[in-house]
Amino acid sequence: MFKKNLTLYFERVQEANLEQAFYFRPFNLWTLQLESAGGKEAVSLPGISHQLASKIKQLVLDAKKNPAIKQQETLDQSTANPSAATVITHSEAIEYQIKLNPLDLLRYGLMHNTLIYYVAILAPILGQNEKIWIYISEKLGDSWLVIKLLDYLSNHNLWFGIIAVTLVVLLILAVVYVMSILLAMVKYWDYTLTVQNGRYQFHAGLINRMASGFRKHKLQTLIIKQSLIARLLKRYSVYVRQTNEAVRKQGEINLGFIIPVVTEEQLQDILQQLNIRKVAWKRCSPMKILWDSLIWGTLICGSVAIFALFSEVPMYWVLVLAILIVLLSIKNWYSIGYEINHEGYAVKQGILGINTTYVPQIKIQKLQLAQGPIQRLHKTASVTIWSGATLERLNFIPAEKLQSETNHILQTIARFRGRWM
């Protein structure tokens, strides 16, 4: 009923990814996703053969190498006579390869399972608040299942019933936890990363197969994530961000190129291939601890104190919160590291886990320096950096050095005449 014509030139394609839904697998058909540089328009070609999808993808790659290629003529020839079209060859040697086994995927499921954090946060809250338990008991008191359970406990050993209920709750949590791990394993099953001639590509998926790739010069931002459990396992997850406004507007931050699990050695190999050298981390001014503690302490402790005046909450909780805020401010300051130099921008932060972000110098789109009255007092400033995929902000950076580094970066970007995408 509705028709839409969309023209997307090959040289404007930012990403060309292959996906194979489970209902296409019996017919060996694929979906080719072509996304433009701005990410506002995308072309989806569902239900095509892998041969045709690969040929179109190769045409995109050829157009990147030679913008003057006769795209329409070549595409018409491939449509009329598939045997005359460009054929992908795999004669290029594989420079680097990572294959993940089921144990690696199990680690990934453990690393990115947030259920354990919710339990750890809710447990002390529920344990200290009697009103919540009264509310829950009133809501569950009329339940048929609860009535049957109480009748059973009245005629049997009470401790046996308590242990049984506890085991049931733990079993439910374990099932939810295991299910989330299994979903991660299904999504990235048989994950294989290959590097050929500067192009990074992975294939993965047990039910729905997917293939994604990027060329090194298209990298906008590299993000390395290490949760608390990942730190215990000594593993990392690597995310590559490219320009894609449509995805970011939808909030789907986990889309794109990903290496689910890597060791320290593999991570260093990847950073070396992407020309990212080892960072000499610097810290913000220690005055950040003072002002974070004052601002957040005043807001949170003041609110709790007012609430305690009109309720039965003991006032010593205000002191406990004040101490906790100071400790968190110190931990937050200690966890933040940055470096801004002639190669680009790097920042790491996190309280339990650690997120590290690298932005190449030539991919910085906008730099903004700001200095409020508090930071002028301490001769520090704030910097906000935009790349094609992310936004990063740091406070309490020494103003004089920050100004010289940002001026150098802007001059280098202005002189750059190479490929940006």
Of the CA atoms within 13 Å of residue 146, those in its CB half-sphere come to: 8
329: helix, strand or coil: helix
Tokens of 84: 């005359």
Same domain as 155, residue 12: no
Of 340 and 118, the structure prediction assigns the larger pLDDT to: 340
Q: What pLDDT does 78 receive?
A: 43
Whether 388 has a pLDDT exceeding 80, the answer reads: no
Of 210 and 5, the structure prediction assigns the larger pLDDT to: 210
Same domain as 298, residue 245: no
What pLDDT digit, counting tens, does each position of 171-209 carry?
A: 887 887 788 888 888 889 999 999 888 788 888 888 888
Same domain as 307, residue 346: no
| Mean pLDDT computed over 238-248 | 63
Same domain as 409, residue 345: yes
Same domain as 357, residue 379: yes
Same domain as 361, residue 223: yes
Residue by residue, DSSP assigns 283-327 as ---THHHHHHHHHHHHHHHHHHHHHHHTSS--THHHHHHHHHHHH
Q: Is 281 left (phi over 0), alpha (psi -120 to 50) or beta?
A: beta
What percentage of residues in the chain have a pLDDT greater than 90? Answer: 14
Q: Could you tell me if residue 277 is inside a domain?
A: yes
Highest mean pLDDT among 74-83, 98-107, 308-317, 402-411: 98-107
Of 370 and 413, the structure prediction assigns the larger pLDDT to: 370
Distance CA 55, CA 85 (A): 7
Q: What pLDDT does 79 receive?
A: 42
Q: Could you tell me if residue 98 is inside a domain?
A: no
Same domain as 273, residue 157: no
Q: Could you tell me if residue 402 is inside a domain?
A: yes
- The edge-to-edge listing of strands for the beta sheet with 42-49 is 42-49, 29-36, 13-20, 209-215, 199-204, 192-196, 96-99
Of 393 and 413, the structure prediction assigns the larger pLDDT to: 393
Per the structure, the count of domains in the chain is 4
Same domain as 241, residue 116: no
**DSSP code of 278?**
P
User: Of the candidates 36, 56, 89, which is a domain's last residue?
Assistant: 89
Name the residue range of residue 312's domain: 287-333
Which amino acid belongs to residue 384? T
Which amino acid belongs to residue 191? Y
Of 77 and 62, the structure prediction assigns the larger pLDDT to: 62
Q: What pLDDT does 72 receive?
A: 44
Whether 408 has a pLDDT exceeding 90, the answer reads: no
Q: Could you tell me if residue 54 is inside a domain?
A: yes
Same domain as 382, residue 351: yes
Q: Could you tell me if residue 193 is inside a domain?
A: no
Which ranges constitute the DSSP H helices of 156-226?
158-187
Domain CATH number, residue 17:
2.30.29
Same domain as 119, residue 21: no
Same domain as 117, residue 82: no
Q: What pLDDT does 409 receive?
A: 77
User: Of the candidates 167, 186, 205, which is a domain's last residue?
Assistant: 186
Residue by residue, DSSP assigns 127-160 as HH-HHHHHHHHHHHTT-HHHHHHHHHHHHS-HHH
Same domain as 349, residue 254: yes
User: Of the candidates 20, 54, 89, which is a domain's last residue?
Assistant: 89
- Bridge pairing between strands 221-226 and 209-215: unpaired
